[in-house]
Structure 1
């Protein structure tokens, strides 16, 4: 569909206009995360589909699964040298690709800090490039569920549990903060705690386990530091979970924290673990706290509103239009599907190029527009000169 676009040729007998879709001059680099194996295979194959060579640097903690995807590509008939699997130290890989004059672009999913480092490195080498490199980034979020008093309680409870704690909260789209009317919170809290009492934490090889260990020691220490901070803060109360154990694997209990300060740092900073912070707000002040929620975090990836009342629903949808690249109404903030909810966010969440949608692939082509004249030009004079 993308390549079917052709420019207008109003005088087809005399002039033919066309567009040629070319791969970019140079190579693409794909830097992929640990938390979605499919993304590893996707970030390198999207440039290749559009005619580019790609260097694929997998996450250090997803080497085997990503190599399996690479081997499947080769077995399926992908020629050698198109997608190149290049396990490497992150800073070394970044330094090498950004110093090459042939860098055409970087397709990245990972942390804000790493993406900023790449962007700065590209800027420092700008004078050496054949063409300006294209930068695509998806960097995470501080995603919210905003609850109105008209919301369906079961939907709120189940949707928030799923969004906050699936895969140990190690999703860029995971719900990390919830705003809920004070009158609803006791019932929602009771039902969430009841579900948490049934959730097993253990080996991912056991299919009755809802969430397993977090990815590595660095993640464990980061998540634990936020939980320890909450335990020591007068504004925060740990109401569920809060236990961390790295004696055999890196296990963090699904944790719910209640805050009396909607602008506490735990409502602003990405944790990337099974930690949900809840702020109960006065029922009738939902627009005040919706506006506050839009300014609390520097991210703008995903978010959800739960409301059945039409007027409130309309007001909240309007309030959050700039703070979520993927927005959900009466549904959890996770679970986007290719072709159904093309994915990406603004602000520190990334460049919002909407992977899984049709316009994403245009980033990997360099279009050449061609005009062919079928009648020779016979005079040098401008029409206005006659």
Structure 2
């Protein structure tokens, strides 16, 4: 089956079944290959140049801090300016490349990644601390983003395909979506391939060029992605790779007068800083800079008295502790009506205590958090939780030569407490009690964020109320609040969760384009 552009209909990349011995063997082989390449030096990539600098970002395996994953060259302000000039020069040619041809590079890269899927996943296991399933899902999502955005750009390029215009006699009117210019892409460390690939390819497939500043925690994965795009034939200068300090390189590029847009995924604090810096007009700037931001969440699951409590408990634990709670969609709150509160709490305790903590390479259900700074912050929040609620399980560091923390649950937590209000970004779950489903939903809404949420119920009236009243960008009924699929669950949130940019959705590419209307007398 093909779509209106003659392309095969988009289909999500399948997840790997690691219960099969053949797939286990493939992942083990990929891990051996990745481990054999640890400790290498990686250059900046500015246009056709590969630049090694003396100053390096040292990437360390968070699950085994004795291992250096790689040393990635760090850009100076001068090199950041060089990257901007290269992107500006390349934009003049790239914007004229037909949309289908631009998409072709992205499709080629998706195919190459598909052929080396386990290798990319293995690198994330080592550099980001993901277990096999989480890493595999990340790689699958990266492939999905490239396939989806390539198709979308071709569709948008068809005359009046996206937004048919009203016809009038004597005129030929057309609406075209043209690129913006040079964008700064700042992806996060927690989805170091999927979001990096998605943000970058969305920008370039629209005809923009980019300066990519990856997270300093996962720069080797980002380098591997950029090298893959080059292998796919992407012209030099379309993506320029400049790892560096956010406070130095990030601010400089955000404030640059030639920056047309900033695409960012990360914390609320940095997102707001980018928004503030981008709002100021620099000398020589001709436009208002566009900011596309996904900033985080304090997501939660609400359970009413009619819910299937076993399913709800499993979803709460999966949402709270998948990838150690290091997802902006992580369900770090659960709000349960008092009629089933004790039962759900007991089931959550039992499910949480099934999670063994250990080395991601061994595919342990729970692994390390990202680095020492995150570890210390999470342990501080656990101490706060001891004062704000009752510790149900966990609450301490876990064994291992890395940043390991026990999955931790606090119960009887007030909705105004810090662990119910602030994004912890770690394996900490707070559970609160409500008298009924309406109070539970009011408690859920009592946050500055609005990214994901779930509602568990078997009462249709309650479900309809939740659909109307729960305020978030992605609301799920009777399932976990993590795991958005490209093309299925366009992803982005309200309030301090960002600009509701809906990554993986059919209007996402409009953020990287501007609509030009042409009208011609006939």
TM-score normalized by the length of structure 1:
0.90
Aligned-pair distance for 1:309? 1.1
Superimposed CA distance per residue, residues 235-262 of structure 1 (whole angstroms, 9 cap, x where no aligned partner): 4111110112587211111000013422
- Structure 2 counterpart of 1:356: 504
- Residue 274 in structure 1 maps to residue 440 in structure 2: no
- Residue 221 in structure 1 maps to residue 376 in structure 2: yes
* Segment of structure 1 superposing worse, 272-281 or 116-125: 116-125
For 2:376 and 2:243, how far apart are their aligned partners in 1? 25
- Residue 286 in structure 1 maps to residue 441 in structure 2: no
- Structure 2 counterpart of 1:377: none
- Structure 1 counterpart of 2:41: none
- Residue 10 in structure 1 maps to residue 167 in structure 2: yes
Aligned-pair distance for 1:126? 5.1
- Structure 1 counterpart of 2:264: 108
Q: Residue 303 of structure 2 contacts residue 457 of structure 2 at CA under 8 Å; is this kept in 1?
A: yes
Aligned-pair distance for 1:107? 0.5
Match of 2:318 among 162, 169, 183: 162
Q: Which has the larger Rg?
A: 1
Tell which has more relative contact order, 1 or 2 (C-alpha 8 A, sep 6+). Answer: 1
For 1:348 and 1:102, how far apart are their aligned partners in 2? 27
- Residue 371 in structure 1 maps to residue 519 in structure 2: yes
- Residue 319 in structure 1 maps to residue 469 in structure 2: yes
Summarize the Cα distance change of 1:182–1:10 in structure 2 as closer, same or farther, 3 Å threshold: closer
Aligned-pair distance for 1:125? 2.9
Aligned-pair distance for 1:2? 2.7
- Structure 1 counterpart of 2:136: none
- Residue 95 in structure 1 maps to residue 251 in structure 2: yes
Alignment of 1:58-69 (within 5 A): 58-69=214-225
More helix by share: 2
Which consecutive residues of structure 2, in runs of 5 or more, have no partner in the other structure?
1-154
Aligned-pair distance for 1:3? 3.1
* Segment of structure 1 superposing worse, 245-254 or 116-125: 245-254
Alignment of 1:61-210 (within 5 A): 61-125=217-281, 128-207=284-363, 209-210=364-365
Summarize the Cα distance change of 1:192–1:10 in structure 2 as closer, same or farther, 3 Å threshold: closer
- Structure 2 counterpart of 1:304: 454
For 1:139 and 1:8, how far apart are their aligned partners in 2? 35
- Structure 2 counterpart of 1:252: 405
Q: Residue 254 of structure 2 contacts residue 262 of structure 2 at CA under 8 Å; is this kept in 1?
A: no
- Structure 1 counterpart of 2:492: 344
- Structure 1 counterpart of 2:42: none
Q: CA RMSD in A?
A: 1.6
Which consecutive residues of structure 1, in runs of 5 or more, have no partner in the other structure?
375-386
DSSP 3-state at the match of 1:315: helix
Aligned-pair distance for 1:127? 5.7
Aligned-pair distance for 1:151? 0.4
TM-score normalized by the length of structure 2:
0.67
- Residue 35 in structure 1 maps to residue 190 in structure 2: yes
For 1:326 and 1:220, how far apart are their aligned partners in 2? 28
- Structure 1 counterpart of 2:97: none
Aligned-pair distance for 1:5? 5.4
* Segment of structure 1 superposing worse, 306-315 or 259-268: 259-268
Q: Residue 30 of structure 1 contacts residue 108 of structure 1 at CA under 8 Å; is this kept in 2?
A: yes
- Residue 20 in structure 1 maps to residue 212 in structure 2: no
Superimposed CA distance per residue, residues 71-102 of structure 1 (whole angstroms, 9 cap, x where no aligned partner): 11111111111011111111112232133221
Summarize the Cα distance change of 1:11–1:309 in structure 2 as closer, same or farther, 3 Å threshold: closer
Aligned-pair distance for 1:269? 0.6
- Residue 238 in structure 1 maps to residue 391 in structure 2: yes
For 1:8 and 1:281, how far apart are their aligned partners in 2? 50
